[in-house]
Structure 1
Amino acid sequence: MNTSEIQSITQRTEEYVTLWKHLAELARLQQKAVGHWQAMLSWQNFFPTGSQLAPASLNQNINPWNISLFQVISGTRGDPQTEVEILTKVASYGSQLGTVIDALMSILPDAEKRKQLNEKDLYAVLKLEHLASEIKRIKES
């Protein structure tokens, strides 16, 4: 590496360090603001303790659900913290669905039993087979 490349890398690194310092300060101010709003409005449970726009920790996982400064988990019900724990410690939604599809594919009715299915159930079986084959095609390409 020549001197100008090293200077360029050093400058970019310094810019990133400055950015992370600003994000840490933003997280601190945001937590303080939530506390002020809770006290002012007497809504102790209105803002969840963990709600914030900037990360409280600067060592977050990078995954498909992290967008900018917001962690997005769309379409969930129940406890979002439980969802995050399942996604980070057990399996992603895709992996969970893949396991379910693999299990269902192993117990699909054979050709003789399919003749006994009503139209709605047969359509569901065919749709699952198509879904599984499309996923397999994409994985293999």
Structure 2
Amino acid sequence: MATIRLPLSGNVTQAIWSAFLSPFNNQVGLINISVGRSSAPEVEEQVLTEVASYGRQLGRIGDALTVLVRHFHPTEPLTKDEEKALTALRAMLDEIADVKEQHQRKGLRA
């Protein structure tokens, strides 16, 4: 059976840039995505451009959580909801490690 791909439906990765500067938010691009309002947009922009992208920030938080979860020894039994939350976190962190390893990146395991 033949595979039919409609325009803009295939596995295509392409960067498209516009030469127009928006007078409202100083962004350049054909498509600009806003993920919400920030109480300090200048701080957020500087962190993203000079420190780390959202992905890198989340990656480092995830790695640190993996270390903490791995060495976590509660002094009293966890409730069912607490255990469920930790189990879900471990599963997500392991799935993230799987994806990283698919791209020849080191993934920490909870």
Residue 138 (structure 1) aligns with: 99
**How far did 1:114 drift?**
8.9
Contact 1:114 1:122 in 2 (8 A): no
Q: Structure 1 vs Structure 2: percent identity of aligned residues?
A: 27
Deviations 1:10-49 (A, max 9, x none): xxxxxxxxx74xx3xxx4xx75xxxxxxxxxxxxxxxxxx
Name the aligned partner's letter for residue 84 of structure 1: E
Pairing of 1:59-98 with structure 2 (within 5 A): 68-70=30-32, 72-98=33-59
Residue 102 (structure 1) aligns with: 63
**How far did 1:117 drift?**
0.6
Structure 2 unaligned runs (5+)?
A: 1-17, 103-110
Residue 89 (structure 2) aligns with: 128
TM-score after normalising by structure 1: 0.48
Structure having the larger proportion of residues in helix: 1
Number of residue pairs the alignment of both structures matches: 85
Aligned mates of 1:90, 1:97 — CA distance in 2: 13
**How far did 1:76 drift?**
4.5
Task: Pick closer, same or farther for the CA change 1:54–1:105 going to 2, 3 Å.
Answer: closer
TM-score after normalising by structure 2: 0.59
**How far did 1:102 drift?**
1.3
Structure 1 unaligned runs (5+)?
A: 1-18, 32-50, 56-66
Task: Pick closer, same or farther for the CA change 1:84–1:113 going to 2, 3 Å.
Answer: same
Pairing of 1:6-21 with structure 2 (within 5 A): 20=19
Name the aligned partner's letter for residue 35 of structure 2: S
Pairing of 1:18-29 with structure 2 (within 5 A): 20=19, 23=20, 27=21
Name the aligned partner's letter for residue 30 of structure 2: S
